[in-house]
Amino acid sequence: MHSTNERQNPAFYALLAALVVMSIAPIYLMLSTSFRLNVDVMSETSSLLFFPTLQNYETVLCNVLWYQLDHVDYCDPSFGRALGNSLIIALISTGITLVTGCMAAYALVRFRFMGRGTMSMTTLMMRMVPPAVLLVPVFGIWTFQYQLDGTYAGIIMVYVAMNLPFVIWILQSFIVQIPIQLEEAARIDGANAFQVFFLIVLPVIKPGLAAASIFTFRIAWNEFLIANALLDRNTRTVPVTIVNSLTEYDINWGVIMATGMLLAIPPIIFTFVASKQIITGMTAGAVKG
Partner 1 sequence: MSTNSMSRMTPYMFLAPAAGFMIVGLLYPIGYMIYASFLDWNPSQLIGEADFIGLRNYTSLLGDESFRESLTVTLKFSSIVVVTEMLIGVGLALLLDRNIRGISVLRTIFILPMMIAPIVVGLMWRYMYHPSVGVFNRILKDWGFEPIPWLSDSGWALASIIIADIWQWTPFIFILALAALQSLPRSALEASRIDGASGWQQIIHIKLPLMLPVLIVTGLLRLIDSFKVLEVILVMTNGGPGLSTEIMSLRISRTASEFRELGVAAAMSNYLLLLLLTLTIIMFVYNKIIDAREASVRQAVEEG
Of 62-121, binders to partner 1 (CB under 8 A) are: 96, 99-101, 103-104, 106-108, 111, 113, 116, 119
**Per CB under 8 A, which region of 28-36, 59-67, 74-82, 174-182 contacts partner 1?**
28-36
**Per CB under 8 A, which region of 49-57, 68-76, 173-181, 237-245 contacts partner 1?**
237-245
CA atoms in the 13 A half-sphere facing the CB of 76: 14
**Per CB under 8 A, which region of 6-14, 48-56, 57-65, 71-79 contacts partner 1?**
6-14
Cα dihedral sign, 194-197-200-203: negative
Binding to partner 1 by residue 52, rule CB under 8 A? no
Of 210, 214, 227, 238, nearest in space to 158 by CA: 227
Q: What type of residue sits at position 84?
A: G
Binding to partner 1 by residue 245, rule CB under 8 A? no
User: Site size for partner 1, by CB under 8 A?
Assistant: 96
Q: Which helix (H) or strand (E) holds 79?
A: helix 78-110
Of 79, 288, 82, nearest in space to 170 by CA: 288
Nearer to partner 1, 69 or 199 (CB): 199
Q: Minimum Å distance from CB 70 to partner 1?
A: 26
Distance CA(241)–CA(258), nearest Å, equals 13
Q: What type of residue sits at position 250?
A: D
The DSSP call for residue 62 is T
Binding map of partner 1 across residues 121-160, x = CB under 8 A, - = no contact: -xxxxxxxxxxxxxxxxxxxx--x------------xx-x
Nearer to partner 1, 81 or 239 (CB): 239
